[in-house]
Amino acid sequence: MTPKKKTTAKKKPARASGKRPAAPQKSATVSRKAQHVELVVHEKVAFRGVTTGFERYSFEHNALPEVDFDEIDLSTEWLGRKLHAPLIISSMTGGYADAVDINRSLAKITEEFGLALGVGSGRQALEDDRFLKSFSVVREEAPTALIFANIGAIEVASLSKKGEILKLQKLIDLIYADALAIHLNPLQELLQPEGTRDFRGVLSAIEECSKVLKLPIIVKEVGAGISKSVAKQLLDAGVDTIDVAGGGGTSWAGVEILRNKQGERAALDPFWDWGIPTSDAVIEIAPLKDHCSFALIASGGISNGLEIAKSLALGADLAAIARPIMEALITHGERGLRTFIESVLFQLRGALFLTGSQNIAELKKQTLRTAQR
């Protein structure tokens, strides 16, 4: 798939609205981003009773692999670019002061290992220019990596209704993005103290982005999964890549429940485990590739190379990891993150070795056994 060419949006003069300055909203966005990182790294926000489902599957062991471990090829192609491995460092943060150093480190490791990187939501960058460095630093540190910008579906729908979709070009240009990810998060918005619960116009706005912005469009969930029926709608709207971001890992419902007032949490708690398990979402959507050309990303609770291998065998083209990467970086610095990535790639290569697969294409042909319950 060849990336679409970028266009530069013409800046429109600002119009006086007569409304109060939006400073409180800007501050809320910045504060929320910092809170999210703090809760994800330091609190127990995993799904409680729902798993990714990968534990239900196992590879058939090949005692005669007939391959050289050191010559196994993990490379793959996505959006017309070659990656050294089918691993994406998922969109996590940006838009506040401490995000500069975090994104700098994520970008360095992405460039070093030849991976792909998603930048955190760029909503704050559209609100004001205080923390643009937290986004631009990514391309500075990863000049050749495949990098994609990221924005929430609610923001996209709002811009579309105002005829301002081209304002998203600011995010694209800020990091010289190779693609734009639009994240769907109705569950998170439902439970957020400051959430937006009007999702009307989101699908048409995504379609507009696909037509107007001359680069690939990725649509991803944030931990509750994407169903087959929704995937069909997205593909009909012109989306190039779907990231299922399913249930079983970090519960963003849990994150938002903890951000609510103590007395309000009990009413929200039943939603903690809401979502489609990651493996189920991959299995449901993968057959659509027989009729439509698109890339499928498995994410949501993936924490090691064996789970990446299973996701590929179930039909995904790539996998993305978020929380374990952030934990490794925050806890042990760049050295710890580098060690974590090396371990994940060793595990993935090991899965290929033990199934007799020389490359990713051969791994994807392997049959997974369903574990006895």
Closest by alpha carbon to 125, among 174, 191, 184?
A: 174
**Contact yes or no for 140/101 (Cβ under 8 A):** no
Q: Which pLDDT value is given to residue 133?
A: 97
Q: pLDDT at residue 12 above 60?
A: no
Q: What pLDDT, in 10s, does the model give residues 117-135?
A: 999 999 999 999 999 999 9
Q: pLDDT at residue 355 above 50?
A: yes
Burial class (CB in 10 A: 0-12, 13-18, 19+), 263: exposed
Burial class (CB in 10 A: 0-12, 13-18, 19+), 323: buried
Share of the chain above pLDDT 90, in %: 85
Q: Which pLDDT value is given to residue 44?
A: 87
Instruction: Count Cα neighbours of 352 within 13 Å in the Cβ-side half-sphere.
Output: 27
Q: Is residue 4 part of a domain?
A: no
Q: What pLDDT, in 10s, does the model give residues 13-25?
A: 333 333 333 333 3
Q: Which pLDDT value is given to residue 38?
A: 83
> Which residues lie below 8 Å from residue 96, measured CB to CB, with a gap of 6+?
30, 31, 33, 34, 124, 131, 134
Q: What pLDDT, in 10s, does the model give residues 205-223?
A: 999 999 999 999 999 999 9
Q: What pLDDT, in 10s, does the model give residues 251-282?
A: 999 999 999 988 899 999 999 999 999 999 99
Q: pLDDT at residue 36 above 50?
A: yes
Q: Which pLDDT value is given to residue 37?
A: 81
Q: Is residue 35 part of a domain?
A: yes
Give the pLDDT band of residue 59 (cuts 50, 70, 90).
very high
Question: DSSP readout, 80-124?
Answer: TEEESSSEEE-----SSTTHHHHHHHHHHHHHHHT-EEEPPP-HH
Q: Is residue 252 part of a domain?
A: yes
Q: Is residue 64 part of a domain?
A: yes
Q: pLDDT at residue 52 above 60?
A: yes
Q: Which pLDDT value is given to residue 315?
A: 98
Q: DSSP code of 359? A: B
Q: Is residue 17 part of a domain?
A: no
Where in the sequence is the domain holding 256, given as residue range(s)?
26-370
Q: Is residue 12 part of a domain?
A: no
Q: pLDDT at residue 6 above 80?
A: no
Helix or strand run (H / E) with residue 297: strand 295-298
Helix or strand run (H / E) with residue 369: strand 368-370
How many structural domains is the chain composed of? 1
Residue 85, domain CATH: 3.20.20.70
Q: pLDDT at residue 364 above 60?
A: yes
> Which residues lie below 8 Å from residue 14, measured CB to CB, with a gap of 6+?
none
Average confidence (pLDDT) over 171-189: 97
Buried b (16+ CB within 10 A) or exposed e, 271-283: bbbbbbbbbbbbb
Q: What pLDDT, in 10s, does the model give residues 297-343?
A: 999 999 999 999 999 999 999 999 999 999 999 999 999 999 999 99
Compute the mean pLDDT over every residue in the chain, rounded to the nearest whole number.
Answer: 91
Per the confidence metrics, is the pTM higher than 0.85?
Answer: yes
Average confidence (pLDDT) over 160-187: 97
Average confidence (pLDDT) over 28-52: 83
Q: Is residue 18 part of a domain?
A: no
Residue 337, classed as helix, strand or coil, is: helix
Q: pLDDT at residue 105 above 60?
A: yes
As a residue count, the chain comes to 373
